[in-house]
Structure 1
Amino acid sequence: MPATRPIWKGQLRLSLVSIPVELFTAARSDAKPSFRQIHEPTGKPIHYEKVVAGVGPVDKDEIVKGFEYEKGDFVLLTDDEIDAVKLETRKTMELTQFVDADEIDPIYYDKSYFVVPTDELAEDAFRVIRDALRQTKKVGLGQLAMRGKEYLAVVKPSGKGLMLETLHYQDELRKADPYFSEISNKEAEPDLLEVATALIEKKTKEFNASAFTDHYQDALHDLIKRKMKNKGRKITADDDDEPARPSGSNVVDLMAALKQSLEGGSAKKPAAKASTARKPAAKTGTAKTTASRSKSSSTSTRKKAS
């Protein structure tokens, strides 16, 4: 079994069939460096205190949750009152509908979880649901409650198991029209479209996630290692970035760039015409460390060095 704890335990239900399952977060939280705020003069970490304006620090047992229904007016709720809210989806996710996976716009997808049967007795029913979804090429839709929210989610087969992916509700998403409204309805020119399509087909291959890495995180890890090796001394930044290529709107240039890309060559000069002069490369400089200065306020959170 995995070393991590399940984020949710309950029943995956299809009509009268219930399968005890556990959910595990698919994404790693330790995959990138985690930074803390440091008080530069002392080198000590910053920590937070719960404070009330005009009162000062307060004890944990004096804190409750509140909903601000008007400016400065709150409805107070205790943890027991919140826990008493009855939702069947806190312990059960019922698959109420099935759809083709490509019917769901990718914008709705949020987070991914592994779905695992809790024991061997649950595996038979688990396999039936998994294989039925795979055979019909469908995904199951349902809802489940965890961490103070009821989520819309899809369940789909993945290898020997199932994947659950939470979805955004429609009212959580911005409408695309205001962002796309200024794009004209003009269609792409056929000759340009033909070359672009050929380029896409040439670059089409099976998806392999391991072929991609987060270069920014790799660079951060490298910076941290060099900083440790130099015992905290300032690191001179290496400016290996190529200057940005100027862009042009000339269709002839676009065709030339597409054809050159299709042929797999790289010109000595940019294919597109520059509307302005090339910008010089950024000068090599020295990375400076700046202290995070915290300003005191009458808000409910205050920083201090430990």
Structure 2
Amino acid sequence: MATSSPPRAVWTGAITFGLVVLPCRLYPATEEHAVRLREIHKADAGRIRHRRVCEIDGQEVPYEDVGRGYELADAGMVPLTDRDLERLPLPTCHQVDVLGFVPANDINPIRFAKPYFVAPDGDAAQHAYTLLTAALVHAGAVAVCKVAIRTRERLAALRPRHGTLVLHTLLWPDEIREPHGIGPATPVTEQELKLAVHLIGELAGVDTDELHDEYREAIEQLVDAKTTGGQFEPPPTPQATEDLLAVLEESVRAAHHIQRDNPPR
């Protein structure tokens, strides 16, 4: 069976831990398959086009002529080329600097941002790569690192997965918002808590590999209905539960029957 070639590396450098230097490349570990809806003019359904226009001469600028710059406090602009950014005096531009190792559960999941597959760069890097992967598995640890990818320096977590190293960029602490009272402080009874915990046990286990995004299918049904003049019945709006105890008891009974009729394989 033919296999697709790996995506283009987004970063090339080396992982350093202690005195060990592991040349590597980072590859995107995910790809989104979102439904893309176009921006249109409501009056006639014409496509809306966004153009790049220079604020000085008012001319439209082709993409290949678009660069980047740093805006000064007095509104002046300092142009920065890709070559300038490659020569940035920052070690993490070309180095995943391992700061230390922590248990995997010590990192709050809300901080995880974007994942990358880490590949050894060259034959000489393979031994160190295999050793670091095995050591992380054996220790049950992840490496906390700093790395600069594109135009940002980030914290990152380096962890093993199926014999491969995965680097997850992490949000900085000041990028995490606090809930500030979003969750209510309503008390619950012992019986409600007991039933809720029992329901969690009955519904334990989900094979996420069997799940898929149904949004595209729903969009296709909606488009088909609008183009053929057919009817499209939206799902009912969920209503808040009032008799929580009764609903929990019924949920436990229903979940128990489902598990009994469909035992884990």
Please give the range of the TM-score, normalised by the shorter of the 2 chains. 0.7 to 0.9
Which of residues 64, 73, 76 is equivalent to 1:74?
A: 76
Deviation at 1:41, TM superposition (A): 5.0
Q: Which SS does the other structure have where 2:146 is aligned?
A: strand
Q: TM-score, normalised by structure 2?
A: 0.81
RMSD of the TM alignment (CA)? 2.8
Q: C-alpha distance in 2, partners of 1:22/1:62?
A: 27
Cα distance in 2 for residues equivalent to 1:243 and 1:118: 53
CA, structure 1 residues 262+178, in 2 after alignment: closer, same or farther (shift >3 Å)? closer
Whether 2:144 is the aligned partner of 1:141: answer: yes
* Paired residues of 2:15 and 2:24 also in contact (CA < 8 A): yes
Tell me, yes or no, if the aligned pair for 2:38 and 2:47 is still in contact at 8 Å. no
Decide which of 249, 253, 264 is 1:259's aligned counterpart: 249
Could you tell me whether the CA contact under 8 Å between 2:67 and 2:80 is conserved in 1? no
- In the alignment of these two chains, the number of paired residues is 248
Q: Per-residue CA shift, 1:232-286, capped at 9, x if unaligned? A: 93654511412433532xxxx2111111100007xxxxxxxxxxxxxxxxxxxxx
Q: Distance in 1 between matches of 2:66 and 2:127?
A: 49
User: How far off is 1:75 after superposition?
Assistant: 4.5
Q: 1:36 aligns with which of 29, 35, 38?
A: 38
Q: Is the 8 A contact 1:69 1:75 kept in 2?
A: no
Contact between 1:33 and 1:221, CA under 8 Å: does it hold in 2? no
SS in structure 1 opposite 2:167? strand
Q: Match of 2:194?
A: 194
SS of the counterpart of 1:179?
coil
1: CA distance between counterparts of 2:60 and 2:235? 50
Aligned-partner SS, 1:66 = strand
| Residue identity opposite 2:137 in structure 1 | R
Q: Aligned partners of 1:245, 1:42: CA distance in 2, in Å?
A: 35
Over 3 Å counting, the alpha-carbon distance change for 1:119 and 1:76 in structure 2 is: closer
Q: How far is 1:67 from its partner?
A: 1.9
Tell me how far apart the structure 1 counterparts of residues 146 and 152 of structure 2 sit (CA, whole Å): 10
CA contact (8 A) 1:114 1:163 kept: yes
Q: Does 1:233 align with 2:227?
A: yes
Relative to structure 1, is the Cα distance of residues 77 and 14 closer, same or farther in structure 2, using a 3 angstrom cutoff? same
**Cα gap change, 1:237/1:90 in structure 2, threshold over 3 Å: closer, same or farther?**
farther
CA gap of 1:119–1:208, structure 2 versus 1, over 3 A, is farther
Q: 1:8 and 2:8 equivalent?
A: no
Q: What CA distance in whole angstroms lies between the structure 2 residues aligned with 1:138 and 1:63?
A: 41
Q: Would the aligned equivalents of 1:68 and 1:74 in 2 still touch at CA under 8 Å?
A: yes
Greater alpha carbon shift after TM alignment, 40-49 vs 214-223: 40-49
Q: Kindly indicate whether residue 55 of structure 2 is the aligned counterpart of residue 65 of structure 1.
A: no
Q: Distance in 1 between matches of 2:204 and 2:67?
A: 56
Larger Rg: 1
Amino acid at match of 1:162: L
What letter matches 1:67 in structure 2? E
Question: Please, which runs of 5 or more residues in structure 2 have no aligned partner?
Answer: 256-265
Q: Which structure's relative contact order is higher, taking Cα pairs within 8 Å and 6+ residues apart?
A: 1
Contact between 1:26 and 1:113, CA under 8 Å: does it hold in 2? yes
Task: State the distance in 1 between where 2:195 and 2:116 align.
Answer: 40
Whole-Å Cα distance in 1 between the matches of residues 229 and 34 of structure 2? 20
> Aligned to 1:130, what secondary structure does the other structure show?
helix
1:69 CA displacement: 2.5
Check whether the contact 1:52–1:58 (CA below 8 A) recurs between aligned residues.
Answer: no
Percent sequence identity is 24
Q: Deviations over 1:111-155 (max 9, x none)?
A: 111111123432211111001101110000001111110011001
Counterpart pick for 2:92 among 86, 89, 95: 89
Distance 1:59 1:213, change over 3 A: closer
Q: Is the CA contact (8 Å cut-off) linking 2:92 and 2:148 kept in structure 1? A: yes
Residues 52 and 61 in structure 2, CA contact (< 8 A), matched pair in contact too: no
CA 1:188–1:81 in 2, change beyond 3 Å: closer, same or farther?
same
User: In 2, distance between residues paired with 1:51 and 1:43?
Assistant: 25
Show the counterpart of 1:218.
217
Matches within 5 A, 1:240-279: 240-248=234-242, 253-264=243-254
The AA in structure 1 aligned to 2:144 is: L
Task: Return the letter of the residue paired with 1:69.
Answer: A
Is 1:103 the equivalent of 2:93?
A: no
Distance 2:135 2:231 in 1: 55
Instruction: Provide, for residues 196-218 of structure 1, a one-character-per-residue CA deviation record: whole Å limited to 9, x for no partner.
Output: 1111011111x432232222233
